[in-house]
């Protein structure tokens, strides 16, 4: 597995503002994934972040709303832009450190938008 | 794209009994099927997985079976304990999907004393 950390662990934000979530891994990984987990729901993939290329977004998620950076092989950020209460969720990053499809998750960022 | 259905949504068992959670998938090319356990307020934790070239896999009290013909796979937990209480998610990866996980809707398992 890998040691994955996220910052912040939680935040309460006002509508219309933006929040950047950081994901740090203790080893170099090719792909990093960003998921959203709405309260009491399953996990939905937002985008796949590859180092050196544009992130690949899933249907229903757009770059203007969820811009992603991937400056190196151990770090990525997800920004939730122009937030509304509907963005209140847990946001998790995950990695596949051994290229075996086994994905391991970070601890998540619990976002509440007022 | 891949679609994964999971049943039941809630499951209550007595301590020591077995629990079975079932998932079906839509893409016959899917080749990797993990199971995650998520305790309240915690991250999803990979507990077992199975690949399409295997029909069954066991790890102590947990096992997963895969029926490729029927496109379904199941999680079996034997001798359940209170610490098994959590939400369990199945997932699938299809080769054409860029290694992305498609999750089932989750099963809330409660093990009662």
Mapping DSSP onto H, E and C, the string for B29-60 reads CCCEEEEEEECCCCCCEEEEEEECCCCEEEEC
- Contact indicator for B6, B104 with CB cutoff of 8 Å: yes
Based on the number of CB atoms within 10 Å of its own CB, is B108 exposed (0-12), middle (13-18) or buried (19 or more)?
Answer: middle
Taking an 8 Å cut-off on Cβ atoms, the answer to whether A42 and B106 are in contact is yes
Instruction: Kindly calculate the radius of gyration of chain A based on its CA atoms and give it in whole angstroms.
Output: 13
CA distance B74 to B97: 22
Based on the number of CB atoms within 10 Å of its own CB, is A101 exposed (0-12), middle (13-18) or buried (19 or more)?
Answer: middle
B43, B101, B103: residue with CB nearest A107: B43
Taking an 8 Å cut-off on Cβ atoms, the answer to whether B44 and A92 are in contact is yes
Closest Cα to residue A114, out of A78, A86, A79, A81?
A86
pLDDT mean across residues, chain A: 95
Contact residues, B window 37-66, toward A, CB-based 8 Å cutoff: 42-46, 49
Per-residue model confidence (pLDDT) at position A102: 92
Instruction: Kindly calculate the radius of gyration of chain B based on its CA atoms and give it in whole angstroms.
Output: 13
pLDDT per position as a tens digit, A28-40: 998 899 999 999 9
* B101 inside 8 A of chain A by CB: yes
Q: Which residues are CB-neighbours of A112 under 8 A, at least 6 positions away?
A: A10, A11, A12, A13, A88
> DSSP 3-state assignment of B97?
helix
CA distance B28 to chain A (A): 17
Contact residues, B window 81-100, toward A, CB-based 8 Å cutoff: 89, 93, 98-100
pLDDT in tens, chain B (113 residues): 889 999 999 999 999 999 999 999 999 999 999 999 999 999 999 999 999 998 999 999 999 999 999 999 999 999 999 999 999 999 999 887 777 899 999 999 999 99
pLDDT for A98 beyond 90: no
């Amino acid at each position: 597995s890998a040691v994955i950390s996220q910052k912040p662990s939680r935040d309460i934000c006002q509508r219309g503002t933006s929040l950047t979530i950081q994901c740090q891994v203790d080893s170099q990984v090719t792909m990093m994934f960003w998921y959203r987990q709405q309260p009491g729901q399953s996990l939905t993939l937002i985008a796949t972040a590859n180092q050196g290329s544009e992130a690949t977004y899933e249907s229903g998620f757009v770059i203007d709303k969820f811009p992603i950076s991937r400056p190196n092989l151990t770090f990525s950020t997800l920004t939730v832009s122009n937030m509304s209460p509907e963005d209140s969720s847990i946001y998790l990053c995950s990695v596949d450190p051994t290229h075996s499809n086994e994905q391991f998750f970070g601890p998540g960022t619990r976002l509440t938008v007022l | 794209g891949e679609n994964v259905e999971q049943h039941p949504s809630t499951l209550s068992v007595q301590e020591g009994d077995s629990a079975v959670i079932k998932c079906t998938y839509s893409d016959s090319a899917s080749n990797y099927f993990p199971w995650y356990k998520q305790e309240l307020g915690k991250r999803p934790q990979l507990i077992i997985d199975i690949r399409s070239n295997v029909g069954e896999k066991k790890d102590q009290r947990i096992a997963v079976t895969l029926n490729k013909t029927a496109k379904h796979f199941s999680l079996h937990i034997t001798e359940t304990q209170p610490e098994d209480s959590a939400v369990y998610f199945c997932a699938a990866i299809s080769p054409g999907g860029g290694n992305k996980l498609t999750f089932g809707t989750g099963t809330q398992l409660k093990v009662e004393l």
